[in-house]
Chain A
């Protein structure tokens, strides 16, 4: 069994990441930039899940905005109710403006923090598992799955825009407290950042364990030869559903953190464009690797903040070209570049082996699945 990284390397990597995220960043960055980094970390959490489902499992998950949005909206609903309770109102402020006097039925359970947290974990998991089973058990093809997950994102975004009880196209915003901590206090916003950083480290650890386990090997096997895995006696559908569900769960948790950190959640975070935009960072960083998606997502989000407001037109061009160039010509991403350079160095120092040994399962055949 191939290790993704050696044992000591893993610990060292985690140590460095922890020191950077918890030690260096809070000291170096201003409060504003720290919470910006917190937002990027939310995207990175989504990216880790996409890396597992897409890079390792070969499932093109184009609807992650759905789960991101579900998590974000559920958290947002709880925060809005909590704010209203503090003010002594029955309904959140935006509903008062719309003239709604009574809390809609489906909002009521979200008054409970425990229910909200449980729902953020369970609801997207259940939806992803149901959809996954429905699609993969019937051996619906990869292309169909990609289109269906996109249609789901489009449908949810349209549904949310039409609902006045979730704030319409404005979504939910202006949260004042987070589980009793007022968000005006910089120390509490800092705490949110630390939570995001902690969750990111946790999901990376989980995915590393998954990748190294027998399950991880099977997942790659399903990506590269689904029929062979089936003939070996495994059910590829189960293997795929697990990866898809884990990715959905990560996206939901990321959304739930995104809402309080950024201060809003809206249909613009749910639809097709944001859902596909999650993929570009993953593709750039290297979809099959563990850390590539994390770094890629943070990098792209950072570049977007830097450029998109000053050069909106150029940024869209850049985004489009990144898709074309990276996915079209460098499907292994930056991580593939590293492997490529390493091979070249090896080829220079050593005589070339008799047989071409393209045996690296991590970088070969990326995206060849149908």
Chain B
């Protein structure tokens, strides 16, 4: 029983990390269909933002809260810049976008390596996040709970923004029918840039949060990127609901398989399960029903 609860807690924590990393992608990949391989580097940008902010503001608690805001803006600005300079030229070539943004990712990684050096750097967690909380006999680190809370807050904020704000309505309108949205007077260009800003900003917020549970190196984004993509693929494009369920399912699956085998084998088994799952539901868990052929 203790083992089960321990695994549940690990799974929940892993799921919330996956969710946070994948949430931005569910917007840029899920809603706009852009495969942005530099998304991982936006996560990394968030990590380094937290590091830099902490160098300026030494109080760990204040710097963490400020980093979340600054990170969102930094990541968002990077994403918007990428959209304006490169991605907007390539909306009709999704696979080429993948390779181009991969190139961007390589460059960003090297920039980080040149500025901060290849060895990992650490961000100090504030005192109120040290230690753990006992839940049904299993000790869960407070940093993990912080990430879970942050993930839920981000999902709630994003869902509300998409649902009720005028900006959210514009985003949904452009995703659902670009031409009709344009004829209704919505600037699809501005909306695309906004969507990308939010998606990339969320990646950086994820990065800031990740500094609480591990150290930051230039390749940190890469290690989360593929998992984040898989979450969005399993969840189905275009719906946050799918991303949430997929993130926690994969989190639980991974932690249970990992407990019974090894970490490396668990990754492979989860991959095989995903391929088999896509046999049953090639479009992911939740799909927007459409009559389109492609």
Residues of A whose CB lies within 8 Å of any CB of B are 58, 60, 62, 131, 134-135, 138-144, 146-148, 150-152, 154-156, 158-159, 161-163, 226-227, 272, 276, 279, 283, 313, 316-317, 319-324, 327-328, 331, 367-370
Interface centre among B100, B102, B267 (most CB of A within 10 A): B102
Could you tell me how many residues of chain B have their Cβ less than 8 Å away from some Cβ of chain A? 44
Residues of B close to A148: CB separation below 8 A? 233, 274-275, 278
Residues of A close to B229: CB separation below 8 A? 147, 150-151
Q: Are A146 and B95 in contact (CB under 8 A)?
A: yes
Residues of A close to B104: CB separation below 8 A? 320, 323-324
Q: Are A368 and B282 in contact (CB under 8 A)?
A: no
| Cβ of B168 under 8 Å from chain A | no
Q: Are A150 and B226 in contact (CB under 8 A)?
A: yes
- Mostly helix, strand, loop or mixed at chain B's interface? helix
Assuming A317-B110, A320-B106, A331-B93, is B99 touching A276 (CB within 8 A)? yes
Q: Are B95 and A328 in contact (CB under 8 A)?
A: no
Residues of B close to A316: CB separation below 8 A? 106-107, 109-110, 113
Q: Are A144 and B95 in contact (CB under 8 A)?
A: no
CA A311 to CA B267, docked complex, whole Å = 34
- Mostly helix, strand, loop or mixed at chain A's interface? helix
Q: Are A131 and B86 in contact (CB under 8 A)?
A: no
Would you mind naming 24 contact pairs between A and B with Cβ atoms under 8 Å apart?
A: A60-B99, A131-B275, A139-B282, A141-B282, A142-B94, A143-B35, A143-B98, A146-B95, A147-B226, A148-B233, A154-B267, A158-B264, A158-B267, A159-B265, A162-B264, A316-B107, A316-B109, A317-B106, A324-B100, A327-B100, A328-B89, A328-B90, A367-B93, A368-B92
Residues of B close to A154: CB separation below 8 A? 226, 267
Residues of B whose CB lies within 8 Å of any CB of A are 29, 33, 35, 86, 89-90, 92-96, 98-100, 102-107, 109-110, 113-114, 222, 226, 229-230, 233, 262-265, 267-268, 271, 274-276, 278-279, 282, 293-294
Residues of B close to A161: CB separation below 8 A? 264
Residues of B close to A163: CB separation below 8 A? 264
Assuming A143-B33, A148-B275, A320-B105, is B114 touching A313 (CB within 8 A)? yes
- CB B244 to nearest CB in A, in angstroms, measures 19
Other 18 A-B pairs with CB < 8 A, given A156-B268, A227-B294, A316-B109? A60-B99, A134-B275, A134-B278, A135-B278, A139-B282, A141-B282, A143-B98, A151-B230, A272-B226, A276-B99, A316-B106, A317-B110, A320-B106, A324-B100, A327-B96, A367-B93, A367-B95, A370-B95
Residues of A close to B93: CB separation below 8 A? 331, 367-368
Nearest B residue (CB) for A60: B95
Q: Are B278 and A138 in contact (CB under 8 A)?
A: yes
CA A339 to CA B107, docked complex, whole Å = 30
Residues of B close to A141: CB separation below 8 A? 282, 294
CA A143 to CA B113, docked complex, whole Å = 29
Q: Are B222 and A151 in contact (CB under 8 A)?
A: no
